[in-house]
C-alpha cells in the first residue's frame, strides 16, 4: 500500500514537472516566433497591392476588375486599358489609401516624410525600425521588433504564457520556502529576494496582459490610446468612443482569426457610424447583442 502511494505521488510529481517544462518551452518558442514575425509594414502592403493590380491588369478575360472586402478594408479599381496600366504602382496605392479617408483629405497629410509613402489609417512610422507599420501599437525593446497588425495576436499570447509561467514559478518558490525554511531565515535570503522580484515581475506582466486585453476588446492600439489628442483622425472623436470597434465578439474574431493578412486595413468611420456608436443602449440593443 505504501509502495503504491509512493509510486502514485512520484508519477504526479513527474507529470507536474513535465507540464511546467512544457509551458517554459512554449513561452520560449513564442518569444522567438513573435520576435521574428513581421508587424505588417506599409511598404510590403503597397508592394502586395501593386503586384495584385499587375496580375489583374494582365488578365485577358476582364477589362475592369474591382477588389473589395465586406467591411471596406481593401478597395481598388484596376482598368485593363492603357491608362489603367499607367495608373498602377504608386498612384494606384495612393488612390486606394485615399478611399479610407474622408473626401477632400490632402495627400500631403497622408505621406510619411521619412518613407515617402502614403500611410493608411492607424499606420505610423517607427523610428527604431525606420519603417511605417500597419496598425502600429508600440516598439517592443524586449523583442527587438515593432508590434503591429501582423504580430499583435502573437504578442498577446506571449504575454499570457509569460504571466502563467511567472505565476507557476512563484507557487513553486512559496512551496519550497514553506517546506524548507528554518528558524534562521537569513539562510534562505536569496530565495526570498528572488520571490520578491518574481512577485514584482508577475504584477507587471499581469497589468500588461490586462491592458492589452482591453485594447483587443475595444479594437485600439497603445499608440492611439496614449497619443489620441495628437493623432489627426482621432482629434474630433469623443474620448469615450472607440471609432474602430465592431463589438466585443467581432473585435476578438478579427484579432485572433482575421489578422493573418497585412492588407486587412480599416477605413475611418463615417459621421453616421460615429453617431450610431454614440447612441445610448436600450433593452432592444441588449437583446440584439449590439455590443457584440
Residues marked as catalytic: 140
* Helices within 37-151 (DSSP H only): 42-58, 82-86, 90-98, 107-110
Contact between 63 and 80 under an 8 Å Cβ cutoff? The reply is yes
Q: Which residues contact 232 (CB under 8 A, 6 or more apart)?
A: 109
**Cα(48)–Cα(78) distance, rounded to whole angstroms?**
14
Contact between 78 and 64 under an 8 Å Cβ cutoff? The reply is yes
CA angle 103, 246, 213 (to 5 degrees): 120
- Of 262, 260, 259, the C-alpha closest to 48 is 262
3 state SS for 196-239: HHHHHHHHHHHHHHHHHHHHHHHCCCHHHHHCCCCCHHHCCCCC
Residue found under cell 507587471? 204
The C-alpha cell at 230 is 495628437
Amino acid at each position: 500500500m505504501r509502495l503504491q502511494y509512493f509510486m502514485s505521488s512520484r508519477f504526479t510529481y513527474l507529470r507536474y514537472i513535465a507540464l511546467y517544462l512544457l509551458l517554459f518551452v512554449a513561452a520560449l518558442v513564442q518569444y522567438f516566433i513573435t520576435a521574428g514575425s513581421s508587424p505588417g509594414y506599409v511598404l510590403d502592403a503597397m508592394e502586395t497591392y501593386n503586384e495584385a493590380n499587375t496580375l489583374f491588369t494582365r488578365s485577358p478575360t476582364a477589362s475592369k476588375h474591382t477588389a473589395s472586402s465586406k467591411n471596406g478594408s481593401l478597395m481598388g479599381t484596376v482598368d485593363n486599358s492603357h491608362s489603367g496600366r499607367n495608373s498602377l504602382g504608386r498612384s494606384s496605392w495612393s488612390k486606394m489609401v485615399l478611399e479610407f479617408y474622408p473626401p477632400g483629405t490632402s495627400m500631403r497629410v497622408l505621406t510619411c516624410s521619412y518613407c515617402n509613402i502614403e500611410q493608411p489609417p492607424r499606420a505610423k512610422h517607427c523610428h527604431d525600425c525606420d519603417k511605417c507599420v500597419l496598425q502600429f501599437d508600440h516598439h517592443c525593446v524586449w523583442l527587438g521588433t515593432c508590434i503591429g497588425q501582423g504580430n499583435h495576436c502573437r504578442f498577446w499570447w506571449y504575454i499570457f504564457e509569460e504571466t502563467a509561467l511567472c505565476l507557476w514559478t512563484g507557487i513553486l518558490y512559496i512551496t519550497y520556502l514553506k517546506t524548507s525554511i528554518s528558524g534562521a531565515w537569513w539562510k534562505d535570503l536569496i530565495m526570498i529576494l528572488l520571490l520578491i522580484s518574481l512577485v514584482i515581475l508577475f504584477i507587471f506582466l499581469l497589468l500588461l496582459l490586462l491592458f492589452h486585453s482591453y485594447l483587443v476588446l475595444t479594437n485600439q492600439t497603445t499608440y492611439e490610446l496614449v497619443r489620441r489628442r495628437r493623432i489627426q483622425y482621432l482629434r474630433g472623436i469623443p474620448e469615450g468612443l472607440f471609432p474602430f470597434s465592431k463589438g466585443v465578439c467581432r473585435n476578438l474574431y478579427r484579432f485572433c482569426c482575421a489578422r493573418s493578412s497585412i492588407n486587412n486595413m480599416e477605413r475611418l468611420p463615417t459621421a453616421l457610424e460615429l453617431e450610431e456608436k454614440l447612441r445610448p443602449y436600450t433593452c432592444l440593443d441588449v437583446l440584439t447583442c449590439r455590443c457584440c
